[in-house]
Amino acid sequence: MTELGNDTIALDDIEESDNDTVGKSRLNTANNFNALRYVLDKRYHGHGDQFTKRLNDHLYILFGLGTTQMVAPEKGYRFNTLTTIQLGAGKEFTEYHSVRVILQNSFGYQQDRDISFNRLGATVDHLFSLSSYFTGYDPTRLADFSTLVGVGVHHSRLGKDIRSGMSAEVHLGMQVKFFTGPQGYINFEPYFGFSTDKMDLNTNRNWRKTDMFYGANISYVYYLHNNLSAQARLRYMSKVPDDIILSENLEPASWRVPWIAEFSTGISMISSPTLGIGQTLGSNIAVGVGKWFSPVVGLRLTGELSSTRWNQEPVKLGTDDNIYTQNLSNVYAGVRAEAMFNPLGFLKDFDWDSDMGAYLVAGGMYGRMVKYQAERLNCNSEAYTAGIHLWKKLGNGLQLFVEPRYTHYVYNIPYSNVKWNKSFSDDGLNVNVGLTVLTCGKAFRRQTGRDEQKAVTMKNRLSVGVAGGFNITHTKTNLDGASSIPWNAMIFGEYNFNTISSLNASFEYLTISGRTLGKYYDLNMMAEEPEKTRISANGLLGHEYSLGLLSVGYGIDLGSLFVGFSSSNKFGVNIIAGPTAIFTLSHSSSLDGTQPVRKGHVIEIAENPKTKLGIGAHAGLQLHYQLNNKIALVAKPVIYMLGTTDMKTIDFQKGRIIESINIGVRYSFNTHVTKQMYR
């Protein structure tokens, strides 16, 4: 025995223990054990989840926006940052490798003289997932990193017909793919590349004979089928709260990816060289359709018409000594393509039927812009927009929203004697209030059990109502000053064929007033022969119109169509459209009260149009809140296109538009039927 301080160790015991570490028989008695799995004869790869390799698995489409910067060959030939639009499709072939094909368009300006530059092309890219290679395949990983290598071919064009050419390129980059749902991902991709000499169309300026570019894209990826592996589904479902509502396919309600339809109106303001932003106040109409590709990301396309005041100018008419202030309008009409980003969608218990929520919107717009002035500017315009969408649930699949949004408009003034332009920009602010209707597949609808089946009341067949409100008109120019408040009143009725479709009829009485500069006659009634004293003059004239609008339209209950009919829903919304007959019931013109008239004199207006019948159309909504089985409160915003009706106070291109907003009450007769149905 050897002694080390206070400790003693038995050497014989250690030797005996060493001999016992291996069985005395020297045989491996383990069953079903393969030691080769633990031999590191190659680099370690994370195993990860199972990857299926069926032909239609892991197919996706993508769309996105980005920026591209061309590297200038010299200081005198620079480009602004180009805007890039992408649309493509791809497939993951293994846990690591995927291939995609993308069509893209980049556009902007060559900064020397604001010459428009457009580049249209296609790329083929290979992506290798570093995250799956090192840590294993996991389609629910929050951020997946991949390398990007691709080639492409592009056609570039400078101006309308200055120069054009074809180029080939190769690009390298990195992709970060963020998981947002079983079918939706967000990609962020910085890149740089080299091309042959005709990408930037610099002619002989480039001593390198190679063009260079760099940029970054954000794209939205939508898989045609659920992209989660079996293991990923089990992991996800284990974290779902016990009280969450599941679909018949055992999918959480948070995986619901609805289509949406939106209708809104609001106020619009723009930057002005002479007016404060509050003085430019105008109106905005918007109609949109969109799709959520996951609880977090979606795409929305919106058509909008915006009319604002942008400038004022003094006007003097003929021999009239007075100087009047004329308001000049600015009109934008176009289509917005916007990404929708919902941070609340990352929550495991998120539900589109929550009481309230919010998400961000951002994207681009392309359309037409008209600025009215001495020489009218009418040109194409592109814009970049961002805002926040705040919503409150009214009923199943129905939301009330408020959306403040900032927009940066870019446009150029073309010249007739040269091939270049001058670029300008406006900054705009809109605040819209509207309704969103969301679809809900049968699998996600809240259902009663078979033992709870009951007869539910179908829509009452026949309803009538009354309403009143105000109206808004769009015009090129108008004269500054107060006018009487436009008001309207209406009666309406509807007959429901079933829970979705209906026939609607209405008669609306509207008053519209405005002021124009025009010709009148001044007669001295104190003279012996007043007709001989008739004097022609110019001045400010006031116009008062009374219109009767008789409309017939086809209505669709969007709630019943998108979500399914339920008699317990207090809120509902119908979209109605059809022809309208416009009766000009009266039109009176008079010299404006600001114009002095001498005692004993009478004023006659030179032109006072006769009343007549016009043909137009209407489209609008009917939002109702059911107080009881018979009575409901209603709100009816309607847009009328006046068509052939000529009105001096409404001068808006070839069409004349009136926005009518009414609030009233509806009474339903007890002519209902019942049917068996689930909620």
Task: Label residues 259-273 b or e (16+ Cβ within 10 Å = b).
Answer: ebbbbbbbebbbbbe
Predicted pLDDT of residue 450:
38
Distances, alpha carbon 559 to alpha carbons 357, 394, 498, 572, 581, in Å: 20, 11, 13, 6, 29
Cα 518 to Cα 648: distance, rounded to the nearest angstrom: 10
Backbone angles phi, psi at 16, to 5 degrees: -65, -40
Q: Looking at the 3D structure of the chain, how many domains does it have?
A: 3
3-state secondary structure of 606: coil
The answer to whether residue 22 is domain-embedded is no
Nearest to 493 by CA among 546, 548, 569, 555: 555
pLDDT at 352: 86
Q: SS3 for 382?
A: strand
Instruction: For residue 356, give both structure tokens.
Output: 């309230």
The residue among 237, 260, 287 that closes a domain is 237
| pTM score | 0.79
Sorting pLDDT into bands at 50, 70 and 90, what band is 468?
very high
Say if residue 105 is in the same domain as residue 219: yes
Q: If we measure between CA atoms, which residue out of 440, 411, 449 comes closest to residue 428?
A: 411
**Which stretches does DSSP call E strand in 396-525?**
398-414, 421-438, 455-457, 462-473, 477-479, 487-496, 501-524
**CATH for 371:** 2.40.160.20
**Of 449 and 415, which is predicted with more confidence?**
415
CA 176 to chain centre: 25
Phi, then psi, of 345 in degrees rounded to 5: -65, -15
Please tell me the predicted confidence (pLDDT) of residue 109. Answer: 81
Shared-domain flag, residues 87 and 218:
yes
Q: Among 256-260, 297-301, 533-537, 662-666, which stretch is predicted with the lowest mean pLDDT? A: 533-537
Q: Locate 175 and state its tokens.
A: 């992709």
Tens of pLDDT, residues 29-43: 667 666 666 555 555
Give yes or no for residue 526 having a pLDDT over 50: yes
User: In the predicted model, is pLDDT for residue 435 greater than 90?
Assistant: yes
Per-residue pLDDT tens over the stretch 234-250: 776 666 555 454 544 45
Lowest mean pLDDT among 399-403, 470-474, 516-520: 516-520
Query: Is 90 inside any structural domain?
Result: yes
Taking the C-alpha atoms of residue 575 and residue 621, their distance in angstroms, rounded to an integer, is 5
What mean pLDDT comes out for the span 170-198? Answer: 92
Q: Tell me the C-alpha distance between 23 and 101, whole Å.
A: 61
Kindly state the percentage of the chain with pLDDT values over 70. Answer: 78
Considering the domain architecture, whether residues 227 and 284 belong to the same structural domain is answered as no
Clarify whether residues 275 and 385 are in a common domain.
Answer: yes
Same domain, 191 and 140: yes
For residue 52, give the 3-state DSSP assignment.
coil
Average model confidence (pLDDT) across the chain = 81
Answer yes or no: is 3 within a domain. Answer: no
Q: How many residues does the chain have?
A: 679
Angle, CA of 138, 258 and 561, to the nearest 5°: 155
Overall average pLDDT of the 529-533 stretch: 70
The reply to whether 398 and 286 lie within a common domain is yes
Q: What is the pLDDT of residue 143?
A: 93
For residues 156 and 270, state if they share a domain: no
Q: Which residue, among 93, 149, 150, has the nearest Cα to 123 in the 3D structure?
A: 150
Residue type, 257: V
Q: H or E element: which one contains 206?
A: none
Q: With respect to residue 143, please indicate whether it lies within any of the assigned structural domains.
A: yes
Confidence of residue 579 (pLDDT cuts 50, 70, 90): very high
Q: Report d(CA 566, CA 675) in Å as an integer.
A: 11
On whether residue 169 sits in a domain, the answer given is yes
Where does 71-185 have alpha helices with state H? 130-135
Region of poorest pLDDT, from 211-215, 222-226, 567-571, 630-634: 567-571
Structure tokens at 269: 């303001």
pLDDT of 101-114, one tens digit each?
A: 999 999 888 776 67
pLDDT of residue 550: 96
pLDDT at 661: 94
Q: Per the domain annotation, does 524 fall within a domain? A: no
DSSP letter, residue 167:
E
C-alpha dihedral sign at 592, 596, 600, 606: negative
Q: What angle do CA 58, 64, 65 make, to 5 degrees?
A: 160
User: 552 in a domain, yes or no?
Assistant: yes
Query: Is residue 574 a contact partner of residue 496, using CB atoms and an 8 Å limit?
Result: no
Structure tokens at 50: 């199972």
Verify that 629 and 549 share a domain, yes or no: yes
Residue 438, beta-bridge partner list = 260
Place of tokens 């007016």: 275
pLDDT of residue 206: 62
Any domain includes 468: yes
Residue 605 has what pLDDT?
A: 76
Is residue 560 predicted with pLDDT exceeding 50? yes
For residue 387 the two structure tokens come to 């805002």
Sign of the torsion formed by the C-alpha atoms of 340, 343, 347 and 350: negative
| Helix, strand, coil percentages in the chain from 3-state DSSP, rounded to 5 | 10, 60, 35
Residue 496, pLDDT above cutoff 80: yes
pLDDT computed for residue 603 by the predictor:
76
Q: Would you say residue 210 has pLDDT above 70?
A: yes
Coil, strand or helix: which one is 534? Answer: coil
3-state per-residue secondary structure call for 11-40: HHHHHHHHHHCCCCCCCCCCCCCCHHHHCC
**In angstroms, rounded to a whole number, what is the distance separating the alpha carbons of residues 59 and 98?**
10
**Among 446, 468, 492, which residue terminates a domain?**
446
DSSP summary character for residue 599: T
Query: Is 459 or 594 the better-scoring residue by pLDDT?
Result: 594
Q: Are residues 279 and 426 in the same domain?
A: yes
CA–CA gap between residue 559 and residue 152 (Å, rounded): 46
**Domain ranges, residue 439:** 244-446
- For residue 470, the cross-strand partners are 487, 661
Q: Is the pLDDT of residue 517 over 90?
A: no
Q: Which of 446, 478, 499 is the last residue of a domain?
A: 446
Closest residue by Cα to residue 649 from 488, 474, 502: 474
640: nearest Cα among 432, 472, 422: 472
Q: Is the pLDDT of residue 295 over 70?
A: yes
One-letter amino acid of 250: L
Tell me phi and psi for residue 134, to 5 degrees. Answer: -95, -30
Q: Are residues 295 and 229 in the same domain?
A: no
109 and 83 Cβ atoms separated by less than 8 Å: no
CA distances for 51 relative to 144, 237, 346, 421, 513, angstroms? 16, 19, 24, 54, 69
Rounded CA separation 45/255 (Å): 31
| Kind plus residue range of the DSSP H or E element containing 238 | helix 230-238
Task: Give the integer Cα–Cα distance in Å for 177 and 185.
Answer: 6
pLDDT of residue 573: 94
Q: Are residues 309 and 227 in the same domain?
A: no
- Which two tokens mark 546? 């009374």
Nearest residue to 45 via CA among 138, 141, 128, 134: 134
Q: What is the pLDDT of residues 44-65, one digit of tens each?
A: 555 677 888 888 889 999 998 8
284 neighbors 430 (Cβ within 8 angstroms): yes
What's residue 591's pLDDT?
A: 78
Phi, psi of 514 (to 5 degrees): -170, 175
Amino acid at 322: N
What is the arithmetic mean of pLDDT over 213-233? 87
Residues 279 and 409 in one domain: yes
What is the Cα–Cα distance from 529 to 532, expressed in whole angstroms?
6
CA 453 → CA 443, 460, 675, distances in Å?
Answer: 18, 21, 11
CA distances from 623 to 30, 261, 411 (A): 74, 14, 38
- What gap in Å lies between CA 653 and CA 378, rounded to an integer? 11
pLDDT band at 452 (very low <50, low <70, confident <90, very high): very low
Is 412:390 a contact under the CB 8 Å cutoff?
no
- Name residue, tokens 């019948």: 613
- Which of these ranges, 150-154, 284-288, 449-453, 658-662, has the smallest mean pLDDT? 449-453
pLDDT per position as a tens digit, 326-354:
888 888 999 999 999 999 988 877 888 88
The secondary structure element, H or E, covering residue 562 is: helix 558-562
For residues 210 and 110, give the distance between their C-alpha atoms in angstroms, rounded to a whole number. 18
